[in-house]
Structure 1
Amino acid sequence: MSKRGWLKTSDGVRLEMELGIEPNEGERFPGVAVVCHPHPGFGGDMHNAVVRSMATAAWEEGYVPLLFNFRGTGRSEGTQSGGVNEPLDVDAAVTYARKLATDGRVLLMGYSFGAKMCTMWLNGGGKATAFVGVAVPSTTDYPDYSDVPSLYITGEFDDVAPLDDGLSRSLMTGGLHVVVEGSDHFFHR
């Protein structure tokens, strides 16, 4: 059973969210994984198949998944800003996750646009226990957060997040890089 509810950003926008388990009053968890979805302008939301797979993987590793819709997506309020204000959405999710996580352990995960928003938040001074970026777009600035253990997952034939970019990014951060052979940006192949 999951908990559905709302997050509130620092600029007052209410975001639709779903926590992978219904917590008891005051219950905390060993870790919470914030999972950020792909670009809403192309149909991305927290119900995306890759996002759900990431949430399942986090659960299997002992993290309670926290999914949310960026502003202007699904039932979330506000207007999509193409990445200008969405890092505030990441911040709201991580802030809530920290309250639920023992010792504040938050795994930050993002797919495509969601991964880009995660890196923007990290580059802006955000802190997470670790970061997993799946199909991080090539337009993403090189990260400035080498103190955060990072894993980059790239499809072998991804034309949005090319293989060379993923490898370069992992080298810049000291992170790991995994290539999914035969796969594209959507991991359909």
Structure 2
Amino acid sequence: MPEVIINGPEGRLECRYMPAEASDAPTALILHPEPDKGGTMNNRVTYALYKLFQARGFSVMRFNFRGVGRSQGVYDNGEGELSDAATAMDWLQAQNPSSRQCWIAGFSFGSWIGMQLMMRRPEIQGFISVTPPAVTHDFSFLAPCPASGLIMHGELDEQVPPESVEKLVERLSIQKGVNITVDVLPGANHFFTEHLDPMIERVEAYLNDSINEDDFDPLA
């Protein structure tokens, strides 16, 4: 799990990067939860997503937003963090010029940043959004949502009730050919404390169903 330091908008960004064996393997960027509330790239949900994409044959990267861990800078309420994510994706794509797929995945705040990045980067083919903060953050920028993806949520999430996520999806303008799947995991709380493994299993099943036959399948 090699450590990588890249130049970010406010100085260095601390990253972990695992390249795939195949040169045309898909790429995935994983984004962590609220930096101002102790979220880091080592968050258990973020780490589990990273390991899942790695096992699935992706070249995968996670990193600390500015002001977290060894990343320089200070928390910027999302604007700067979006720039951090764009920089990380630039680096990831530069390392994988033959890749034919690009995915974004994030947990909580990370999912909000990831979906904003998706609006700016048409090469992103799919997304995994775990407990998007639909109560506290504005998702109106998804007009329309440009790529298909999975929203994963816990049935007993008290911080972001599942109904708020369902209302968010209902309000979204979704272009033709784009499908947003909402999967609510029974019994799970906001952090998937006792349900991390079944959550990851559902994300894996979604990935297996979503990789097009015409695209590179690292497990074929």
Question: TM-score of the superposition, structure 2-length normalised?
Answer: 0.75
CA–CA distance in structure 1, aligned partners of residues 167 and 72 of structure 2: 36
* 2:148 is aligned with 1:149: yes
* 2:55 is aligned with 1:57: no
After TM superposition, give the deviation of residue 13 of structure 1 in Å: 2.6
CA–CA distance in structure 1, aligned partners of residues 28 and 64 of structure 2: 15
Kindly provide the amino acid, as one letter, of the partner of residue 120 in structure 1.
Answer: Q
After TM superposition, give the deviation of residue 91 of structure 1 in Å: 0.2
Q: Deviations over 1:98-142 (max 9, x none)?
A: 22333352210000011111122234x223121110010012313
- Among 158, 178, 181, the alignment partner of 1:176 is 181
1:105-116 maps to which residues of 2 (within 5 A)?
A: 105-116=101-112
* 2:7 is aligned with 1:14: no
CA–CA distance in structure 1, aligned partners of residues 118 and 154 of structure 2: 23
* 2:69 is aligned with 1:74: yes
Contact kept, 8 Å, 2:10 with 2:73, in 1: the verdict is: no
CA–CA distance in structure 2, aligned partners of residues 76 and 104 of structure 1: 29
* 2:85 is aligned with 1:90: yes
> CA 1:104–1:72 in structure 2 vs 1: closer, same or farther (change >3 Å)?
farther
Q: Deviations over 1:23-59 (max 9, x none)?
A: 79xx834111100001122211011110111112212
SS of the residue 1:157 aligns to: coil
Unpaired stretches in structure 1, ≥5 consecutive residues:
none
Unpaired stretches in structure 2, ≥5 consecutive residues:
195-220
Q: Which of structures 1 and 2 has the bigger CA Rg?
A: 2
Kindly provide the amino acid, as one letter, of the partner of residue 157 in structure 1.
Answer: L
Q: Deviations over 1:61-110 (max 9, x none)?
A: 22122010000000001111121211001101111122233335221000
Contact kept, 8 Å, 2:23 with 2:99, in 1: the verdict is: no
Contact kept, 8 Å, 2:24 with 2:100, in 1: the verdict is: no
In structure 1, the partner of 2:207 is none
In structure 2, the partner of 1:3 is 2
- Among 4, 16, 28, the alignment partner of 1:33 is 28
Kindly provide the amino acid, as one letter, of the partner of residue 188 in structure 1.
Answer: T
In structure 2, the partner of 1:162 is 161
Contact kept, 8 Å, 2:31 with 2:106, in 1: the verdict is: yes
> CA 1:59–1:140 in structure 2 vs 1: closer, same or farther (change >3 Å)?
farther
CA–CA distance in structure 1, aligned partners of residues 114 and 65 of structure 2: 12
- Among 37, 45, 51, the alignment partner of 1:42 is 37
Identity of aligned residues (%): 23
Over the aligned positions, Cα root-mean-square deviation in angstroms equals 2.1
Contact kept, 8 Å, 1:152 with 1:170, in 2: the verdict is: no
Contact kept, 8 Å, 1:135 with 1:155, in 2: the verdict is: yes
